[in-house]
Amino acid sequence: MPKKSKTPTVRNAFYAQSGGVTAVINASAAGVIDACRKHRKHIGTLYAGRHGIVGALTEDLIDTSQESTASIKALRHTPSGAFGSARYKLKSIEQDRAKYERLIEVFRAHNIGYFFYNGGNDSMDTAHKVSAISTELNYPIICVGVPKTVDNDLPITDCCPGFGSVAKYVAVSTQEAALDVASMARTSTKVFILEVMGRHAGWIAAAAGLAGGTREQAPHIILFPEITFNRAKFVARVKACVAKQGFCVIVVSEGVKGPNGKFLAEGTTVDAFGHAQLGGAAPEIARIVKDDLGYKHHWAVADYLQRAARHIASKTDVDQAYAVGQAAVEFAIQGKNAVLPVIVRQSDKPYRWTIAPAPLSAVANVEKKVPRRFVTADGFGITAACRRYLSPLIAGEDYPPFKEGLPVYVKLKNKAVKRKLKTRFKV
């Protein structure tokens, strides 16, 4: 029977970034840090995990109190994961008991009573399990998720911080590349293909549709993971588009699947979550265009450019990312455990939103896909309802400061906390 611990009233907190990073995950970190600093009566020091949860397992903690107010302010406009993120999946408590117990051991050693986990579906599942094991081991911890994923596939929340900025980058890039190909099409390139992220959900691909309001405007074809790829139908549409418009702009999600149920872009690498590493749908589509139609074409994979593009971040997204970070701390202080702050849409135009708590259990491992009513009947475009949903998420600009032509991003000190445990843990 584990011994019952007497918990001090002021307890420290632990924050970790998880999964693929975004242009605004650091804005959430800034929200968490600012709110913790405001609540010194309840929260002592906020530690961050170096490389996310891996930092907790290996007792490699970062003391965020060493960072100046100016650095935390600059964190809000700095892309990527300032403390390092991790793709590191903890399985069920039965399968990975030693890891969960190690987490509690580290938390106990550093008097950590609050756990803020900034990630997507898998990470919300981990936060939920940490909350369960903390009860089981009589070491109470308040676990609060902080939503983040460019894929926009968390349920309940109106959108996921990180998505709005990718959506804006993809819509802007599609608009600009379309102008380029339109200028060249008479004598040169007729087809441009842009591949965007979104493993199972086509939200990012859908966002490209914001670049054009009508079927005549680019992007002329969007390929969603939710719609099975049909080669003959696709080729016919490209041909008709080039015949009518003179050129064709295609946006393809990395998650598009063929009739055999396999990704067009499936590689051989699998990450720690067991997800196939994707990338390669655009060259596959380009090959089809060349083989079946012979048009001159260009293709591009937006890859990390899209999720790191802080220079053209959506102001709405930055505001929401910061707000969910702050709200996570407020909820924790109110004693709300095993929850995450979600964004609740109050109105489309003007876009009004509030934040409310939702249970981690309702979000963990659930993927929200693009609903069929957001895709046009032919499967190649977005509907007015989809546009209404997406438009406010890319609204507004929040430029970082620039110096000599480049954005000025902060590099934190990331000072390590002295280890307290003798035991080392290998991950």
| Residue 20 in contact with ligand F6P, rule: CB under 6 A | yes
Site for ligand F6P, residues 255 to 294, rule: CB under 6 A: 271, 277-278
Q: Between residues 33 and 150, which has the closer beta carbon with respect to ligand F6P? A: 150
- Kindly tell me which residue out of 17, 78, 123, 149 binds ligand F6P, with binding defined by CB under 6 A: 149
| Residue 87 in contact with ligand F6P, rule: CB under 6 A | yes
Q: Do residues 162 and 23 make contact, with C-beta atoms less than 8 angstroms apart? A: yes
SS3 382: strand
Q: Do residues 301 and 322 make contact, with C-beta atoms less than 8 angstroms apart? A: no
**Contact track, ligand F6P, 183-202, x by CB under 6 A:** --------------xxx---
Which is it for strands 406-407 and 402-403: parallel, antiparallel or unpaired? antiparallel
**Contact track, ligand F6P, 319-358, x by CB under 6 A:** ----------------------------------------
| Residue 225 in contact with ligand F6P, rule: CB under 6 A | no
CB of 29 to ligand F6P, least distance (A): 17
> CB neighbours (10 Å) of residue 234?
20
Instruction: Give the span between the Cα atoms of 126 and 117, in whole angstroms.
Output: 9
With CB under 6 A as the rule, give the number of residues binding ligand F6P: 14
Instruction: Give the span between the Cα atoms of 176 and 205, in whole angstroms.
Output: 16
| Residue 150 in contact with ligand F6P, rule: CB under 6 A | yes
Cis preceding linkage at 155, omega within 30: no
Residue 136 makes CB contacts below 8 A (sequence gap 6+) with none
Q: Between residues 189 and 277, which has the closer beta carbon with respect to ligand F6P? A: 277
**Which is catalytic among the residues 34, 122, 125, 151?**
151
HSE, side-chain direction, 13 A CA sphere, residue 213: 2
SS3 334: coil
Cα 406 to chain center, whole Å? Answer: 24
Candidates 145-153, 257-265, 321-329, 416-424; binding stretch for ligand F6P (CB under 6 A):
145-153
Q: Do residues 253 and 193 make contact, with C-beta atoms less than 8 angstroms apart? A: no
Q: Between residues 277 and 376, which has the closer beta carbon with respect to ligand F6P? A: 277
Of all residues in this chain, which one has the CB nearest to ligand F6P in the complex? 20
Q: At 138, which amino acid appears? A: N
Q: Please state whether 84 falls in left (phi above 0), alpha (psi between -120 and 50) or beta.
A: left
Q: Do residues 148 and 25 make contact, with C-beta atoms less than 8 angstroms apart? A: yes
Which is it for strands 61-63 and 248-253: parallel, antiparallel or unpaired? unpaired
Q: Between residues 160 and 327, which has the closer beta carbon with respect to ligand F6P? A: 160
| Residue 370 in contact with ligand F6P, rule: CB under 6 A | no
Candidates 144-152, 172-180, 316-324, 371-379; binding stretch for ligand F6P (CB under 6 A):
144-152
| Residue 151 in contact with ligand F6P, rule: CB under 6 A | yes
Residue 151 bears catalytic tag: yes
Which residues are at the interface with ligand F6P (CB under 6 A)? 19-20, 87, 149-151, 197-199, 254, 271, 277-278, 307
Looking at the annotation, which residues are catalytic? 151
